[in-house]
Amino acid sequence: MLIIIDYGMGNLRSVQKGFERVGCRPVISRDPSQIGQADGIVLPGVGAFRDGMQHLAEYGLIEPIKSHIAKGLPFLGICLGLQMLFEESEEFGCEKGLGVFKGRVVRFPRDMELKVPHMGWNQLQIIRRPPILQDVPPSSFVYFVHSYYVVPEDKAIVAVTSSYGVEFCSMIWQDNIFATQFHPEKSQELGLGILKRFAELCI
């Protein structure tokens, strides 16, 4: 069973429809016991880091997520679902995250000439190729919407970078954990292929 975690934020239906288009039937749930039985989980998200963490705590979802990851089961974070894996975010001061990885979430520089949020299509520079990017050509374009990005302390977990005024981490990968700053569900056929390969890991 593949579960998309519903914590009151994010484009759940878009992610669900993306998986459905590649033949997967994920369940949307915020039930901690059901999430504890999942073969794979997806943590999507759009919005503020602080609100996301507050909602995860309110619904009792922090421990089920950490337990799932600790078991070595497939995990996919999308956008805010990537950022919350880290220790803290500078958004609204200093907000604590899940702490799965050491590192911070920072804003794009305020003095750069490009518009923030970073919104639209941008290229991927693949540093290490995760299984879910198996067939993704170099320099492929995917869709982004974000004002903040992750700065991992351990650079070895960085799988993909992109450039928007600065070079930033656009995907991490460590063992069973995959997380993207971009939105696969909004990235047309290439993005659907990523969702399909993740779903296949959960079988």
Q: Which residues does the annotation mark as catalytic?
A: 79, 183, 185
Residue tagged 């993207």 (tokens): 180
- To the nearest 10 degrees (0 to 180), the angle between helices 49-58 and 62-70 is 90
- To the nearest 10 degrees (0 to 180), the angle between helices 188-201 and 12-21 is 80
CA-to-CA separations, 117 to 47, 139, 146, in angstroms, rounded: 12, 21, 5
Residue tagged 């993704």 (tokens): 136
SS3 call for 20: helix
Other beta carbons within 10 angstroms of residue 1's beta carbon come to 14
Structure tokens belonging to residue 129: 């190729």
- Please tell me the chain's helix, strand, coil percentages from 3-state DSSP, rounded to the nearest 5: 30, 35, 35
DSSP assignment letter at 141: E
Residue tagged 């911070």 (tokens): 104
